[in-house]
Amino acid sequence: MIYLGKVEVIRSYNNRLRSVTISMEAPAVVRLVQFVRRHRVRISFSRRNVFLRDGHRCQYCNQSLPASELTTDHVVPRSRGGTTSWDNVVAACGPCNRKKANRTPAQARMSLKRQPRRPRSLPSLGLRLGSDSAPESWREFLAYGGTIEAA
Ligand SMILES: [Zn+2]
């Protein structure tokens, strides 16, 4: 990216990178010359992505649980024509899922925390860098407890 002119090196490490044709300081901090527009991707429907959209919380009782203890619930049960889609599947804990059973939320007298929709984005897996673990040359670019998004 440096040779294509897409990034500028702002800080370098002291060691040099060598190849047959080039020798350069190892870049430590680079700046993108042009803002890279993120493509709006359609987020694929999956169990894991439903849990991410719902913040790993049961959409009926709001309990926060690890993925291993969450289930997916069809808001309108499949037996009543409900589809397996972003608009009809939510994260639910086991007890709420069993309590709701083969009924709609209204029939089960249970309410959803929010109406499920296809998400435009999902929380990214951030790499948290504390001031101790960040390389020296990065520190001035990191706010305290700053987060660098993993690419
Ligand atoms: Zn629940």
Domains of the chain from N-terminus onward = 1-39 (no CATH), 47-108 (1.10.30.50), 124-151 (no CATH)
Q: How many angstroms is it from 125 CA to the middle of ligand 1?
A: 25
Q: How confident is the model at residue 144 (pLDDT cuts 50, 70, 90)?
A: very low
| Torsion sign, CA atoms 83, 87, 93, 95 | negative
Q: How many angstroms is it from 38 CA to the middle of ligand 1?
A: 35
Token pair listed for 88: 């009809």
Q: How confident is the model at residue 70 (pLDDT cuts 50, 70, 90)?
A: very high
Residue 58 buriedness (CB in 10 A; 0-12 / 13-18 / 19+): buried
SS3 24: strand
Residue matched to tokens 């190892």: 26
The backbone torsions φ and ψ at residue 9, rounded to the nearest 5 degrees and listed phi first, read: -85, 125
11/117 Cα distance (integer angstroms): 43
Percent of the chain exceeding pLDDT 90 equals 49
Between 8 and 93, name the one with better pLDDT.
93
Return all residues near 24 (Cβ < 8 A) that are at least 6 apart. Answer: 2, 16, 17
Taking a 5 Å cut-off on Cβ, the residues next to ion ligand 1 are: 58, 60-61, 93, 96
Q: How many angstroms is it from 91 CA to the middle of ligand 1?
A: 9
Q: How many angstroms is it from 121 CA to the middle of ligand 1?
A: 24
Full-model pTM: 0.59
